[in-house]
Amino acid sequence: MADKADNKLIGKNYTPPDHIAKVTGKAKWAEDFRADGMLFCKLLLSPMPHARVRKIDLRAALAMPGVKAILTADDLPKLDGPGAERALTNEPLYQGEPVLAVAAVDELTAAEAIERIDIDWEPLPFVVDPLESLRPNGPSARLEGNVWAPPAPRPAGATGAPPQPEIKTLKWTAEDFVEEAAGRLPMGKVLEEWSYGDLDAGFKEAALVLDETFVVNGSHHQTMESRSAMAYWQNGKLHIYCSTQSVVRTADNLSQWLGIPASDIVLVSEYTGGGFGSKGGGPISMTIPAVLSKKVNAPVMMRISREEEHYIGRVRTNMTGRVKIGFRKDGRITAMDLFIVQDNGSYGRWNDYAGAGNAASLMYQPLAMRWRGVSVFTNTFPKMQQRSPGPMQGNGIVEPVLTKAAKQLGLDQIEIHKINAPAGKAPFGPAVGPGGPNGKRPYVTSAFVKEALDRGAERFKWAERKAQAGQRRGSKVRGVGVAVGPHGSGSIGYDGIVTIRPDGKLYVQSGVGNLGTHSMVDLARVAADILAMPWERVEVIWGDTGKFLPWSCLSVGSQTTHAMTRANHAAAMDAKRKLLEIAAKDLGGSPDEYELGNARVYQRGNPGRGLSYAQAGARAIALGGKYDGHELPEDIHDFTKRSAKELAGLGLMGVAKDNYPRDGATWSFVAGFAEVEVDVETGKTTVIDYLAVGDVGTVINPRSLGGQLHGGSCLGIGHALFQKMVYDQHYGMPLAKRFHYNKPLTILDIPPTLDWDAVNLPDPETPVGARGTGEPPVGAGYCAVMNAIADAVGVDVFRRGPVTPDVILMSLEHGRRMHEPLKAHV
Amino acid sequence: MAVIHDVMPSFGLYQPASVADALNLLDRHGRDAWILAGGLDSFDWLKDRIKRPKAVVDLSGISELQGIRESGDGLEIGAMTTLTEVVRHPAVRERYSLLLEAAEHAASPQIRNQGTIGGNVSQDTRCWYYRTGWFCYRAGGNICYADTPTAMNREHAILGADRCVAVNPSDTAPALIALDASMVVRSKSGERVVPAEEYFIGPGTDITRMTILQPGDLLTAIRIPGTWGGARFYFEKVRDRNVWDFALVSVASAMSDNGETIERVRIAVNGVAARPLRLRAVEDAVRGKARSEETAKLAGDLAIQGALPLQHNAYKVPLMRNLVKRAIRGAEGA
């Protein structure tokens, strides 16, 4: 385990090595790459929300000078699994879905060719609101059905592949929909549910029971860089320049999408202009230039325009949730019954609704809980995990009820959060398996939520601000809100490769993506600290699978910092052992008589008797075998083995799999504190102040942590205030396809004093103590602002986000909620 | 529905150096011509391949259309003057801060650097059905997609709708009406000077246009008389975001009072109808009355008479009422 006293780099600010390229414009993004003879391609997009291609007439387009080839779905490899999305389709499931791609000498020619393509469409039934699809005679978004059913239980003793989830048809009865008239979510049959504890007893014991319905709107991921990609083939290998969150794991996905070995792919993504979950393992659209360039035998650049990015760039799942919660007088939750209808979009199987249930059970620790959910297909943009997928929406459904309960019970918002907060190895979700093998529920590695709430309350001057809340000044009234966002924040079991070369430098191979979080460099700081290496002599290799990278986690789900600090800890410890062994071999004695310091390995207490790292690196090459990577551990991934073999002989190699133990699931938490001012004559909300406090384990890189806390909070604040996605229900058409329609947050919508802090308490179940942090600030930001609005103007003013001026003004004007209670995409 | 957007089709680009040359080009190309000012409205249309003009007449090289000049007891603003130049001009700041505020609330700094005042008042509606290329009344068809039982029309009109329910998006338009500005329109056949109020038209007049400009017409300048220089002004634009957002509702007013009683007043709103509306009934009712909460309430209630909300925009009724009240109260009472 790391000796904290030796940490020279962890916990310190630094300038990551990619910054200068970014600010000087030298950084090359996917669409900056060029290759000799490169063609451009453009996409033909479906004009209908659901249709089938009967016939395509390409003759006029192919006859145009400059048009080189046209790719259709028939040219793409088939993919396994029910409902799998491919980059092109003959049965578009949403308006804007790419149907074919034209390669031409320039984009103008390609666009004009597309307008000359004649497609005979067969329109098919469509639906954009999940509840409409559940009606007795409601349309189904897909021909196979309208909902996901979980995998069938595996019969005892069965062998072969485990059962897969299936697409089925589920319709509710007219009677189920009676509730709708009262603005409450109907609760018909679901195919998935779990529970623990005695729900009835919990509600019986409660002093207050609330039953509320809340709509959480999905919205686009809105990355600054669209998912452009350029590809060509050389010597049987695919070279692809793309925009992705992960690097190694994108090459891995791409190999499956194309049906070629990952070793035949050279994937370059050194800089990524944001992903937020939408480019997790790489966008499937990159298969278009990959296959098209093979077909046309020339490099193909596919630049994705902003409008196209709105179609294929992914969206958060929206949910309509209904929750019944029982509270004791002191605010403790005795029972929670959570029911979620999730809009799954057109493709994929998104588990946000399950994540929302797990997160609610963790975040509020109800003594008894039931979760039920159904995930419904709609003919809307494909969804994907968006920064805190599930927990954020879970927050959004439960937090307003918590705030309402606090008001009714005369409790402070922070107190009601604290009395329900998880602590230590807090349990969550249902017992594993049917009834649980031993009836034991899973639990987290650690939680310091109360500490985060206390620290934040003091720093935010909560008591002072609270005293001012609710007082009207002119047309303005202020309110304060607090919320805690949870999210899973770390995986285990990946590999690290480091080499100490005869040039005296430490090279750290980083296989994760550079999506703006700096974790792809932070992980090297751990190795440098263990090896007592000055940062100036550390080279981080990233962004190109041609540079031999280790098997790494997907750069998603806030896992990277946790997973890859562990992997690099393991690799660095391996290198350290080898340094000590080489020193002992050359200078006598046993390895434990040696230590590391200032890029040297030397006899304990006698720095003069030792080897420089340059010398040790050269000795490792001379010794060969395990010392320079010619012999590798058995348990590392094949991908790592391939890379390590290529790097063998360059110096002393530390290479290892993260085999460190972990007891529990790793989750992080962020407490958000907001003060808002609402103008009751216009309904407009202004965020006056905001603070995010992280319980994210040991702080690795303070400045970057601040950036993550701010960025995540801002996404949540945008969700609370105005960011949205809108569909015309009748025509099944998306309307908010421009920034000025869907309204992502701007710099002028946040307070200049946006603040952050962290409890900086190490997680006991990982050697470096660090957990991830990208996601939990989102739910905190979303709900702290909404709770503050409720504090200012009333807990019954809104039951959906975003809380736009029209929602507030109409409720205040009429003394009751006037907004659409259940519909998605309004 | 178009199957491809975001690639600008080819067209003939004309870059005249004088108004006379521009008018000749507009006359020659007639309905096939497209006037390009700052490009912020135009490029959307062109990139989306929805409007397909043959000849684009770019005004950026015509120096006589640029800049702000003293004119009589007022100002003349060239149509190609950028919004940033309007905001920074000392005379605008000193005497017509209403226009400054309105211009400063338009879009974002980058857009104000490029966008012109002529373009701001002449821009097309932002109705998302129409802008997506749906063949609606305004596009020459025979339906309004924004006015169906299931339409999404939170941003649409509560007043003056006639088949089409789109609204005018301009921030400077209500300010110019309140300042009693006039628009200088030239064509091959001569020059017309029309009150700002009459420059904008509703669907009842012509459902395919937002202004009186016909093919061949060019807005060359905006004249602001001295009448309202240094008056008591009020401007407010309510929008979802604090920058880069069109108004849900905006209000602009110019008033002179003797400390107690309102002597003269002009008040206009935007975001509620296909054209910015001057509220004459309100002006008549409050003239001669004390600038009191009671008068403000009267003004607000009068302003919304006849409002007919759609499915999702009923909030615009109290919002417009409250903004008109605030205009009477003045900045100190907001």
- Say yes or no to pLDDT of A14 above 70: yes
In a domain, B215, yes or no: no
Give backbone dihedrals phi and psi of A396, rounded to 5 degrees, phi first. -65, -30
Measured between CB atoms, which of B152, B318, B333 is closest to A728? B152
- Euclidean distance between CA atoms B43 and B119, whole angstroms: 12
The total number of structural domains in chain A stands at 3
- Look at residue B102 and tell me if it is in a domain: no
* Token pair of A221 as six digits: 């991921």
Taking alpha carbons only, the member of A316, A222, A239, A241 closest to residue A282 is A241
Q: A726: which chain B residues are within 8 Å (Cβ-Cβ)? A: 128, 152
Separation of alpha carbons A50 and A48, rounded Å: 5
Q: pLDDT at position A2, please?
A: 43
For residue A82, what pLDDT is reported?
86
Domain finish residue from A611, A629, A657 = A657
Q: Are A285 and A297 contained in the same domain? A: yes
Q: Hey, are the CB atoms on B4 and A42 less than 8 Å from each other?
A: yes
Q: Is the pLDDT of residue A776 over 50?
A: yes
Q: Quick check: A24 pLDDT over 60?
A: yes
Q: Is A730 on the interface with B (CB under 8 A)?
A: yes
Q: Where are the beta strands (DSSP E) in A291-358?
A: 300-302, 319-327, 333-345
Most distant CA pair in chain B, distance = 61
What pLDDT, on a 0 to 100 scale, did the predictor assign at position A7? 76
- Residue B68 is assigned to a structural domain of this protein: no
Contact A745 B241 (CB under 8 A): yes
Beta carbons within 10 angstroms of residue B166's beta carbon = 30
Average pLDDT over residues A348-362: 97
Query: Are A563 and A630 found together in one domain?
Result: yes
Q: Which of B44, B315, B333 sits opposite A810 (nearest CB)?
A: B315
Domain boundary among A618, A640, A657: A657
A467 shares a domain with A341: yes
- Does B1 score more than 70 pLDDT? no
Task: Answer yes or no: is A505 within a domain.
Answer: yes
Instruction: Tell which of A657, A680, A715 closes a domain.
Output: A657
Does some domain include residue A141?
A: no
In angstroms, the CA B146 to CA B165 distance is: 7
The CATH number covering residue B289 comes to: 3.30.390.50
The answer to whether position A196 is within a domain reads no
Range of the domain at B28: 10-59
Q: Which residue in the set B4, B129, B319 is minimally distant from A115, CB to CB?
A: B4
Residue B107 lies in a domain: no
Cβ neighbour number for residue A254 with a 10 Å cutoff: 25
Residue A808: give the domain boundaries: 319-432+439-490+664-814
Q: Please give the structure tokens belonging to residue A657.
A: 């799999």
Nearest to B10 among A108, A733, A818 (CB): A108
Give A 301-360 residues with CB within 8 A of chain B: 305-308
Does residue A172 form part of some domain?
no
pLDDT for A162: 85
Verify that A646 and A670 share a domain, yes or no.
no
Tell whether A37 is covered by a domain: yes
Give pLDDT tens digits for A572-612.
999 999 999 999 999 999 999 999 999 999 999 999 999 99
Provide DSSP, B196-252.
Answer: HHHHB--TTT-TT-SBS--TT-EEEEEEE-GGGTT-EEEEEEE-SSSSS---SEEEE
Q: Is residue B145 part of a domain?
A: no
What is the maximum span of chain A, computed from C-alpha positions, in angstroms?
Answer: 87
The answer to whether residue A104 is domain-embedded is yes
pTM of the shown model: 0.97
CA distance B1 to A643: 49
Residue A645 scores a pLDDT above 90: yes
Distance, in angstroms, between A51 CA and closest chain B CA? 14
Give the span between the Cα atoms of B222 and B217, in whole angstroms: 14
**Residue B101 falls within a domain, yes or no?**
no
Q: What are the pLDDT digits (tens) for A39-70?
A: 999 999 999 999 999 999 999 999 999 999 99
How much of chain A exceeds pLDDT 70, in percent? 99
Flag whether B46 is in a domain. Answer: yes
CB atoms within 10 A of CB A746: 16
Find, in chain B, the residue whose alpha carbon is nearest to that of A819.
Answer: B312
The model's confidence at residue A5, banded by pLDDT at 50, 70 and 90, is: very low
Task: Name the H helices within B216-258.
Answer: none
Residues A805 and A671 in one domain: yes
Same domain, A263 and A331: no
What is the predicted pLDDT for the residue at A438? 63
- Pick from B49, B152, B245: which is nearest to A735 by CB? B152
Mean of the pLDDT values across residues A772-791? 98
CATH number of the domain bearing residue A631? 3.30.365.10
Does residue A151 sit within a domain?
no
Average pLDDT over chain A, rounded to an integer: 96
Shortest CA distance to B250 belongs to which of B99, B100, B102, B60? Answer: B102
Beta bridge pairs of residue A286: none
Look up the CATH number of the domain holding residue A105: 3.90.1170.50
Domain assignment present for residue B248? The answer is: yes
Would you state the pLDDT for residue A6?
65
Cβ-defined contact of B315 to A809 (cutoff 8 Å): yes
Same-domain pairing of A503 and A477: no
Look at residue A78 and tell me whether its pLDDT is greater than 70: yes
ipTM for the predicted complex? 0.97
User: Residue A155 — pLDDT band, cuts 50, 70, 90?
Assistant: confident
Residues A543 and A620 in one domain: yes
Same domain assignment for residues A411 and A497: no
The neighbour count for residue A155, using CB atoms within 10 Å, is 7
User: For residue A4, is pLDDT > 90?
Assistant: no
The answer on pLDDT for A663 being more than 50 is yes
Contact in structure between B324 and B299 (CB atoms under 8 Å): yes
Number of H helices, E strands in chain A: 21, 30
Going by pLDDT thresholds of 50, 70 and 90, the confidence category of residue A259 is very high
CA angle A382, B131, A810 (to 5 degrees): 80
Q: Is the pLDDT of residue A340 over 80?
A: yes
Domain count, chain B: 2
CATH number of the structural domain spanning residue B41: 3.30.43.10
Same domain, A338 and A469: yes
| Lowest mean per-residue pLDDT among A137-141, A702-706, B12-16, B259-263 | B259-263
User: Beta strands A368-377 and A333-345: pairing type?
Assistant: parallel
CB contact under 8 A, A733 and B5: no
Distance from CA of A62 to the nearest CA of B (A): 17
Contacts of B6 in chain A (CB under 8 A): 305-308
Kind and range of the H or E run holding A585: helix A560-587
